[in-house]
A and B are shown apart, each in its own frame.
Chain A
């Protein structure tokens, strides 16, 4: 039998394709890198075939986080946000795309939470942080004066890049959302560099799982459990988890201080819960975690169920727990190691005391 050139070519192509498909994947090793930014330690773990490639990709992602710290920090006086906080009172300022974007998204959470989440709480937050460090609590007059500075509706956004404060003393504090935004930008960079499997951790409070580790369904993250009884877990796969909790009480009884401020009364939030959220992006999980801690489980459930692909768990130190979800599964008590995980429908209504 004589083969035509075309048929021979076809066979060769088919053989080559088959060989390619059958070629074993190069073994991937795990690599890790960390860097200090935004007052905490960011860590990245990736699986990759090449140490040099992994190192380069992680370095670029971490450099991006450091760059964003210089944009969003309210501690660094020369950051873009600090400049905005000094100059935007009744004067529109041109800002970078990053700053515009993260503030715009913050205001969305303010709107959907009816103002419970509010990045303009800066003046109050600073004052109460000072109390945490030993300063006296503010007087009623001082507190009223500071509360007058606060209000997300006083931030005027003019696309594509102008921001103005309609208040003489408003200050934006991105502490409740900035790390999540930075995580998302880092994920983008890792993806651009061809990383398919990785985990980004922003100081333990926000994780993003890219793809999954080899031979695993996702990145297993144990969620905060102040009771030590429930062991809630989540498998992250191209989504994010964040945790919020009020600052622990001073052992000396200085119970009035705390870093999460309730904009409604201008006081540090009092709650018995720790809150973890799962969402599609780091920005969303970070922003939602503070929002839902402030809202509490009753009102928070409604919000979670209205957001696509989100879940939340409130856990108190005595083992009280509430779960709400619009998609992702939160596993309990080592269920990730069991064959029969809890169904979503069960989780939606589950309230447990252990």
Chain B
């Protein structure tokens, strides 16, 4: 299946959408009563299109919300008509899995018929962000399988977001998910503040929009003004507000690894594991793979089979010093006329100009090891950002196009507050750190080593943002500004910058 057929339609092609902070949250509402938008602190509401939606959507509008109707492809026409007639904000189409292409065509038709309506399509594969456990619940018990010590399984939406952005780099991804119902305790007690906060922080960090599902009992309690519910929501709102500020349109993701693929199916797990290992990557499809889009890259992973045109691009990239990784390489390629530099059980390496081409003979059967190998192949001097000892953390680097600032968005998938040790390429005059809990901003003291800036982010609860202002200070190069105990933390940094820890 091609990305163009599956992922593309999954996202709204809405370059006209307002910046909406770093990540916009829409509340999904199903109960009759609701608090005013001003109190909830969420200005947009998503109402599933059904028999009782009609009354609800007018109530929502009266309460000050911008109302979006959520409808299946089959319901979309009627829902669009109602939404347009009532001058609601828009319609969100939820395609069934496999029907994304149809939904995309439908969207185009509806857009022509209702030009004032904001039309969006929901990402079909959204999932609850979390650290997943190893245990699997069965109907009559728990299934457990022993293994060597496993790294925490960070379940994120980054791979899906990146795949979607490959096709429409200017569109803003919109996703949602149902809360995990397999965990018995969560099923009984419902999501906790930390669960909501993580969901909002993740979407914000990935510069995506999120429809946040609110359980019925929380909706009712909020509508009834119950203090316990409002105490919970107050904490969630702190995170919503934090990511609701800013201008994501002014920044673009920084990446040094490109993944060229035209197949979501073939590449999803590889990309998912690259995300989990904090490899700063972007996805390119056939239309976007050209000498311009790859010239700033360090490593180019080709998952799709290259044809004549792409082979030329790969060779040019390698000649200039890049590393090309060809997955499931079949056929004859020009570089094969040279003697390989190295052969292993799974891979053959050829020198091409200043760079190299590595051919993997088969498909990626072990994405975990493959992702670790990609990290090993990255040129240390060109890695935009590395975390140390942060197995439950994802970081996404952005460059502010107006100011040149580097902005790092952190997401901590574990509930425990953590310190993060960070290494960023380049020297920076100032480093400022903000979080939903402490707002903006706290200055961080860096130290400068071999063209990198190293610092420790303190107290990362769920999400945090570090802004690094360029212009290297004089005389500070090599001067340790960190406290002595922090120096100790960096003792192994050159060796342990990757999160690949196994006991």
A interface residues (Cβ-Cβ under 8 A, vs B): 29-36, 38-41, 43, 45, 51, 54-55, 66, 75, 77-78, 82, 126-127, 129-130, 132-135, 175-176, 178-179, 199, 201-205, 207, 213, 216, 219-224, 241-245, 247-255, 259, 274, 276
What separation, in Å, do the CA atoms of A130 and B496 have in the docked complex? Answer: 6
Q: State which residues 402-428 of B face A: CB under 8 Å.
A: 414-416
A30 close to B142 (CB less than 8 A) = yes
29 contacts between A and B (CB under 8 A): A31-B185, A32-B133, A32-B137, A36-B152, A39-B149, A39-B391, A40-B503, A51-B185, A51-B188, A54-B185, A55-B185, A77-B485, A129-B495, A175-B503, A201-B144, A203-B149, A205-B148, A216-B141, A220-B141, A243-B148, A245-B147, A247-B148, A248-B369, A250-B369, A252-B376, A253-B343, A253-B345, A255-B344, A274-B148
Q: Which of chain A's residues have a CB closer than 8 A to the CB of B358? A: 252
Q: State which residues 140-177 of B face A: CB under 8 Å.
A: 141-153
Q: Which of chain A's residues have a CB closer than 8 A to the CB of B345? A: 249, 253
**Of all chain B residues, which has the CB nearest A244?**
B148
Q: Which of chain A's residues have a CB closer than 8 A to the CB of B132? A: 41
Interface of A is mostly: mixed
Question: Within 8 Å of chain A (Cβ to Cβ): is B447?
Answer: no
Q: Which of chain B's residues have a CB closer than 8 A to the CB of A204? A: 134, 144-150
CB proximity of A309 to chain B, nearest CB, Å? 18
What separation, in Å, do the CA atoms of A163 and B489 have in the docked complex? Answer: 24
Q: Which of chain A's residues have a CB closer than 8 A to the CB of B183? A: 32
User: Which of B142, B189, B489, B500 has the largest number of chain A CB atoms within 10 A?
Assistant: B142
Known: A39-B391, A43-B134, A253-B345. 9 other contacts (CB 8 A): A32-B133, A34-B133, A51-B185, A66-B416, A82-B488, A205-B503, A223-B146, A248-B366, A250-B344
Question: Within 8 Å of chain A (Cβ to Cβ): is B497?
Answer: yes
Question: Within 8 Å of chain A (Cβ to Cβ): is B232?
Answer: no
Q: Which of A35, A129, A222, A251 is B360 in contact with, Cβ under 8 Å?
A: A251
B153 close to A30 (CB less than 8 A) = no
B144 close to A207 (CB less than 8 A) = yes
Question: Within 8 Å of chain A (Cβ to Cβ): is B392?
Answer: yes
CB proximity of B374 to chain A, nearest CB, Å? 10
CB proximity of B319 to chain A, nearest CB, Å? 21
A251 close to B185 (CB less than 8 A) = no
Q: State which residues 480-495 of B face A: CB under 8 Å.
A: 485, 488-489, 491-492, 494-495
A203 close to B150 (CB less than 8 A) = yes
What separation, in Å, do the CA atoms of A248 and B500 have in the docked complex? Answer: 12
User: Which of B358, B392, B500 has the largest number of chain A CB atoms within 10 A?
Assistant: B500
CB proximity of A156 to chain B, nearest CB, Å? 25
What separation, in Å, do the CA atoms of A254 and B369 have in the docked complex? Answer: 11
What separation, in Å, do the CA atoms of A241 and B143 have in the docked complex? Answer: 14
What separation, in Å, do the CA atoms of A129 and B389 have in the docked complex? Answer: 13
**Of all chain B residues, which has the CB nearest A66?**
B416
Question: Within 8 Å of chain A (Cβ to Cβ): is B501?
Answer: yes
A253 close to B346 (CB less than 8 A) = yes
CB proximity of B242 to chain A, nearest CB, Å? 23
Q: Which of chain B's residues have a CB closer than 8 A to the CB of A243? A: 146-148
B150 close to A40 (CB less than 8 A) = yes
**Of all chain A residues, which has the CB nearest B144?**
A221
Question: Within 8 Å of chain A (Cβ to Cβ): is B2?
Answer: no
Question: 1/0 contact trace for B14-28 toward A, CB 8 Å?
Answer: 000000000000000
A133 close to B369 (CB less than 8 A) = no
Question: Within 8 Å of chain A (Cβ to Cβ): is B214?
Answer: no
Question: Within 8 Å of chain A (Cβ to Cβ): is B372?
Answer: yes
CB proximity of B356 to chain A, nearest CB, Å? 11
B interface residues (Cβ-Cβ under 8 A, vs A): 131-135, 137, 141-153, 183-185, 188-189, 342-347, 349, 358, 360, 366, 368-370, 372-373, 375-377, 380, 389, 391-392, 414-416, 485, 488-489, 491-492, 494-498, 500-503
What separation, in Å, do the CA atoms of A127 and B133 have in the docked complex? Answer: 30
**Of all chain A residues, which has the CB nearest B503?**
A175
A39 close to B184 (CB less than 8 A) = no
What separation, in Å, do the CA atoms of A170 and B377 have in the docked complex? Answer: 32
B133 close to A254 (CB less than 8 A) = no
Q: Which of chain B's residues have a CB closer than 8 A to the CB of A175? A: 503
A129 close to B145 (CB less than 8 A) = no
Q: Which of chain A's residues have a CB closer than 8 A to the CB of B147? A: 204-205, 224, 243, 245
Q: Which of chain B's residues have a CB closer than 8 A to the CB of A220? A: 141, 144
Q: Which of chain B's residues have a CB closer than 8 A to the CB of A224? A: 145-148
CB proximity of B350 to chain A, nearest CB, Å? 13
A221 close to B146 (CB less than 8 A) = yes
Q: Which of chain A's residues have a CB closer than 8 A to the CB of B346? A: 251-253
Q: Which of chain A's residues have a CB closer than 8 A to the CB of B150? A: 40-41, 203-205
**Of all chain A residues, which has the CB nearest B361?**
A251
User: Which of A39, A205, A251 has the largest number of chain B CB atoms within 10 A?
Assistant: A251
What separation, in Å, do the CA atoms of A255 and B369 have in the docked complex? Answer: 12
User: Which of A134, A213, A241 has the largest number of chain B CB atoms within 10 A?
Assistant: A134
Q: Which of chain A's residues have a CB closer than 8 A to the CB of B370? A: 251
User: Which of B149, B344, B498 has the largest number of chain A CB atoms within 10 A?
Assistant: B149
What separation, in Å, do the CA atoms of A223 and B344 have in the docked complex? Answer: 30
**Of all chain B residues, which has the CB nearest A241?**
B146
What separation, in Å, do the CA atoms of A82 and B488 have in the docked complex? Answer: 10
B131 close to A126 (CB less than 8 A) = no
A32 close to B185 (CB less than 8 A) = yes
What separation, in Å, do the CA atoms of A130 and B343 have in the docked complex? Answer: 22
A179 close to B503 (CB less than 8 A) = yes
A251 close to B496 (CB less than 8 A) = no
B500 close to A133 (CB less than 8 A) = yes
If A201-B133, A201-B144 touch, whether A39 touches B501 (CB-CB below 8 Å) is yes
A130 close to B188 (CB less than 8 A) = no
B146 close to A39 (CB less than 8 A) = no
A77 close to B131 (CB less than 8 A) = no
User: Which of B150, B189, B360, B370 has the largest number of chain A CB atoms within 10 A?
Assistant: B150
A251 close to B344 (CB less than 8 A) = yes
If A32-B135, A133-B495, A219-B142 touch, whether A40 touches B376 (CB-CB below 8 Å) is no
**Of all chain A residues, which has the CB nearest B370?**
A251
